[in-house]
Structure 1
């Protein structure tokens, strides 16, 4: 299993011949604090073209749209609390079936109703993303995001992208203010 640092790019399929069905698992812990509301963190995936833009709402896979990319990308459902061990949310991808116009898949985590609840990623710890081979349940790579965030309400965690016919993984770990609406705008979508 390979452990990545922020900014690192690594081959995903080249070093793992035959790899197609993967699970991208995202996890986090929330710090104990005196707020009145529970944290509800949401993982999402944006299917992007060569210009880094989503074609439409169907290219935005999240808790209200669990399947995209002609069925090649599937969110396993919303976890409302983040309690317990292991991945809090998972997105399954069949790399061989991702539509050809999709050059990049960006994975993000946002805090539901962050502003109203007075919450941000400064109150979140132990955030990570890992890639698992769905066929044998083997963890291929992992990226621990560290504690670099303060007031941000959205994170771009990582990207999968095509490079010379193979898929690569990019550990991004950059924060956004403005939550999901800002992320959607960044990728060319109008948020609801």
Structure 2
């Protein structure tokens, strides 16, 4: 895998767009296919730098990525390199899991999941794990405690309605990477489960966890 990092301008949703969203807590979840009738969803990650910390917005970046995972053999594994989706590998295959093209001037980090297409994958995908990571957080001494918030929004792409949102908790303030949550197939339905597990790790560590190996930079 080859990683290319770049700065992004932060884009935020208007308060009225998220006022009716379900506020998820760690360990809670929603049934997206049964209760909300969705076959596809948009995931948007937004954040704000805490003005009380001596770090400027252009010095900080949060990258959103996802791993398409199978439990065929009883262990959570990304079956191939393409199952790690981020801005330098935008499509797991057939539009089942994609990362939005970043135009630079727009800059928000978005991903899209199509559940029926995931089910058509020969890899037997039954989970999509969503990670947010601070670019070079360990090396630069950056952490989520320097943000006033970092929020994942689950959006209906057809109507742009925010179905649910999940904000990182204060207990993740020392983390440089967080598993925000997972889309999991259970009993024939796709759910989103809020996890919020913080780590002092980089993306390479998650590659190892899911059975992948990173390549060196170009």
For normalisation by structure 1, the TM-score amounts to 0.88
- Indicate how the Cα distance of structure 1 residues 125 and 191 shifts in structure 2: closer, same or farther if over 3 A, else same: farther
Match 2:83 to one of 24, 42, 59: 59
Bigger CA radius of gyration: 2
Question: Where does structure 2 lack aligned partners over 5 or more consecutive residues?
Answer: 1-20
Cα RMSD of the aligned pairs, angstroms, is: 2.2
Which residue does the alignment assign to 1:42? 63
Shift of 1:79: 8.0
Residue of structure 2 equivalent to 1:118: 141
Cα deviation for residue 21 of structure 1 reads: 2.2
Task: Give 1:26's aligned residue.
Answer: 45
Out of 158, 164, 177, the position equivalent to 2:181 is: 158
Map 1:40-119 onto structure 2 (within 5 A). Answer: 40-50=61-71, 51-78=75-102, 88-98=108-118, 99=121, 101-119=124-142
Aligned length: 187
Structure 1 residues 79, 145: closer, same or farther in 2, change over 3 A?
farther
Distance 1:40 1:52 in 2: 28
Moved more, 181-190 or 145-154: 145-154
**Aligned match for 1:146, one of 148, 166, 169:** 169
Deviations 1:67-110 (A, max 9, x none): 11432111113587998xxxx31101111111261110011001
**Which residue in 1 is equivalent to 2:16?**
none
Q: Which range moved further: 176-185 or 164-173?
A: 176-185
Residue 127 (structure 1) aligns with:
150
Q: How much has 1:40 moved relative to structure 2?
A: 1.3
2:138 touches 2:200 (CA, 8 Å); kept in 1? no
For 1:39-87, what per-residue CA distance to the aligned partner results, in whole angstroms no more than 9, with x for missing partners? 011000100001211012100001210111432111113587998xxxx
> What is the rounded CA distance, in whole Å, between the counterparts of 1:77 and 1:175 in structure 2?
27
Aligned to 2:199: 176
- Normalised TM-score (structure 2): 0.78
